[in-house]
Amino acid sequence: MRDSTGNFSVLHRACKLVVLLCFFHISVTFIFYVRSLDFRFAFAKHDQTASKDTVPDAFETNHFSVDNVTTITKELGKCPDTSPLLVGPLRIEFSNPVSLDVVRKENPNLKNGGRFKPKDCVALQKVAIIIPFRNRDEHLKFWLYYLHPILQRQQLDYGVYVINQDGDEVFNRAKLLNVGFSEALKEYEYGCFVFSDVDLIPMDDRNTYRCFSQPRHLSVSMDKFGFRLPYNQYFGGVSSMSKEQFLKINGFPNNYWGWGGEDDDIFNRLNSKGMTISRPSGAVGKCRMIRHNRDGGNEDNPQRFDRIAHTKETMNKDGIKTLSYKVVKVEKDQLYTKITVDVGEKMARQTN
């Protein structure tokens, strides 16, 4: 009897020990499991933070997937108000001709159509640059040579649109600018439009080709005018307007055929809608014009004085709302989008 009781107590203790060992084993396993969970969570958290801060090297925002389910977006910060890449005054001269192949090689980051976006930050504005054009290829080469590097340093999301007037009809600068506005918007959600003559080159990259709270006149200090404004209301050469500012004045007039007055009409439109002109300082706004002879087909417009006297009455009837034209050809180059257009004839000017 005593023997069997003794055996039972040994067995009992052995069982207790086994249970204790099992409990210890489960506890240790549990602790390790919890710790490994912590570690995995922390690792995932770290990974996400790192992915937010890392600047992607691709043109567009990067995505990568985890388990094919979650998508984490790499976010770029906004570009600063003043680009850190600006260098200030520039030497601009036109003595040596420019080769477009060289300009293409020197601007490897341009996308087809003369498009660019900064790699390391999100540009503050999407800018379409519109150039009225006909038979000025040598000037266009200089413009592309000088402007592309400047615009890239200005950290803009931009595209260059050369609006080429087809045929031999009298030149119509303002209507070409309207066409540029309308065609550029079909391609991309531009919010800002810079209208630039092909023969004007800024002499300082701090003269940013972007939009401001008021319409901007950029070519304020031209060499041909002795680096000053020819008159206070002058709005010719290079100017910029947001989409809203442009639409508020019904765009530009379509009926100024030949040289002169269309820029004064634009000034009158802005003025009549209560807008003021914003300008850079005379030093920052310095620019050079490529000297040239008077173009054929761009004779002085004899009606210009009469027309600018009646801007207020005509501006709602003549502008972007009544624009009509035909696209003849679209050419995409690395350096620009060239759109050749039939803008109609001078005879049609009464209505358009």
Residue 260 interacts with ligand NGS (CB under 6 A)? yes
- The partner in contact with residue 123, picked from ligand UDH, ligand NGS, none with C-beta cut-offs of 5 to 8 angstroms by kind, is none
User: Which residue, 298 or 314, has its beta carbon nearer to ligand UDH?
Assistant: 298
Q: Report yes or no: 278 and 214 within 8 Å, Cβ to Cβ.
A: yes
Active site residue 199: yes
User: Which residue, 138 or 187, has its beta carbon nearer to ligand UDH?
Assistant: 138
Q: Which of 157, 197, 205, 265 is catalytic?
A: 197
Q: Which stretch binds ligand UDH (CB under 6 A): 50-58, 87-95, 292-300, 311-319?
A: 292-300
Q: Report yes or no: 260 and 304 within 8 Å, Cβ to Cβ.
A: yes
> Can you list the positions of beta strands (E) in the chain?
63-66, 70-73, 115-116, 126-133, 157-165, 192-196, 200-202, 216-217, 221-222, 238-242, 286-289, 326-332, 337-342
- The partner in contact with residue 113, picked from ligand UDH, ligand NGS, none with C-beta cut-offs of 5 to 8 angstroms by kind, is none
User: Which residue, 134 or 210, has its beta carbon nearer to ligand UDH?
Assistant: 134
Q: How far apart are CA 178 and CA 324, in angstroms?
A: 10
Among residues 247, 250, 244, the alpha carbon closest in space to that of 312 is found at 250
Q: Which of 199, 204, 265, 318 is catalytic?
A: 199
Q: Which residues contact 163 (CB under 8 A, 6 or more apart)?
A: 130, 131, 132, 133, 176, 177, 179, 180, 183, 339, 341
User: Which residue, 188 or 225, has its beta carbon nearer to ligand NGS?
Assistant: 225
Which residue in the set 304, 334, 338, 341 belongs to the binding site for ligand NGS (CB under 6 A)? 304
- 3-class SS of residue 216: strand
Q: What's the Cα-to-Cα distance from 341 to each of 154, 164, 240, 338, rounded to whole Å?
A: 30, 6, 22, 10
Q: How far apart are CA 106 and CA 179, in angstroms?
A: 30
Active site residue 294: yes
User: Which residue, 122 or 289, has its beta carbon nearer to ligand NGS?
Assistant: 289
Shortest approach of ligand UDH to residue 165 CB, angstroms? 7
Active site residue 46: no
Tell me how many residues contact ligand UDH (CB under 6 A).
17
Active site residue 183: no
Ramachandran angles phi, psi of 230, nearest 5°: -70, -35
Q: How far apart are CA 257 and CA 240, in angstroms?
A: 22
Binding to ligand NGS (CB under 6 A) within 204-233 occurs at 230
Binding to ligand UDH (CB under 6 A) within 251-270 occurs at 259
Binding to ligand UDH (CB under 6 A) within 209-248 occurs at none
Q: How far apart are CA 262 and CA 256, in angstroms?
A: 6
- The partner in contact with residue 127, picked from ligand NGS, ligand UDH, none with C-beta cut-offs of 5 to 8 angstroms by kind, is none
Tokens read off for 127: 């800018």
Active site residue 263: yes
Q: What is the largest CA-CA distance in the chain?
A: 136
Contact letters for ligand UDH, residues 115-144 (x by CB under 6 A): ----------------xxxxxx--------
Tokens read off for 187: 């391609």
Residue 318 interacts with ligand NGS (CB under 6 A)? no
Active site residue 148: no
- The partner in contact with residue 308, picked from ligand NGS, ligand UDH, none with C-beta cut-offs of 5 to 8 angstroms by kind, is ligand NGS
- 3-class SS of residue 228: strand
Residue 174 interacts with ligand NGS (CB under 6 A)? no
Write out the residues near ligand NGS by the rule CB under 6 A.
230, 236, 260-261, 263-264, 304-305, 308
Write out the residues near ligand UDH by the rule CB under 6 A.
131-136, 171, 173, 197-199, 259, 294-295, 297-298, 300
Q: List residues with catalytic annotation.
A: 197, 199, 259, 262-263, 289, 292, 294
